[in-house]
Structure 1
Amino acid sequence: MARICQITGKRPSKGSIIHRKGQSKKSGGIGTHVTKVTKRKFRPNLQRIRVKLPDGGTKRMLVAVKAIKAGLVEKVV
């Protein structure tokens, strides 16, 4: 099952972790230097919830929390 929101289409995106070493110039050092760059993924916060459909039925879907908070879906209680 892919990590894609079935409402908004949000999916994992690529990025990197940047490691810096040294004391900043503001703190009295000679400045920070990049020592390593590692690849990483930013994954959307997906929840598997039961969603109320427009025709009155229900369905389990993977939905991003941002879509739930925005009111794009109606949860079944």
Structure 2
Amino acid sequence: MPRVCKFTGKKTTTGRQYTHRGKAKYLGGVGTKVTGRTKRKFKPNLQKVRALVDGKITRILVSTKAIRMGLVVKPVRRNWKPEAASA
């Protein structure tokens, strides 16, 4: 299952993490220098949720943004109670 949101299409993106050396100019230094760049991944905050999709209850990967936006319709919880013992 790919790491993609069912509703918003959010997925893993790539970027870089920079390492700096030096003191910032506004603090009285000569400025910061980049000493290294490493590749990294930005992973979306996806949750596995039981939801109603096309009238059926299925487990889907959904971003938390989609849950907050109200795009996910959760199934109705069954309120089960045991029958009274008759005798």
Task: Determine what percentage of the aligned residue pairs are the same residue.
Answer: 46
Cα displacement (A) at 1:54: 4.5
Unaligned runs of 5+ in 1: none
Aligned length: 76
Partner of residue 68, structure 1? 67
Secondary structure at the counterpart of residue 50 of structure 1: strand
**Which structure has the greater CA radius of gyration?**
2
Provide, for residues 35-75 of structure 1, a one-character-per-residue CA deviation record: whole Å limited to 9, x for no partner.
000000111100000012342x2111000111001111122
Unaligned runs of 5+ in 2: 78-87
Partner of residue 24, structure 1? 24
TM-score for both structures, normalised by structure 1: 0.90
Deviating beyond 3 angstroms after TM superposition, the runs of 4 or more aligned structure 1 residues are: none
The CA RMSD measured in Å over matched residues stands at 1.2
Residue 25 (structure 2) pairs with residue 4 (structure 1): no
Q: Whose relative contact order is higher, 1 or 2, with alpha carbons under 8 Å and at least 6 apart? A: 1
What letter corresponds to residue 35 of structure 1 in structure 2?
A: T
TM-score for both structures, normalised by structure 2: 0.80
1-structure distance, mates of 2:70, 2:54:
14
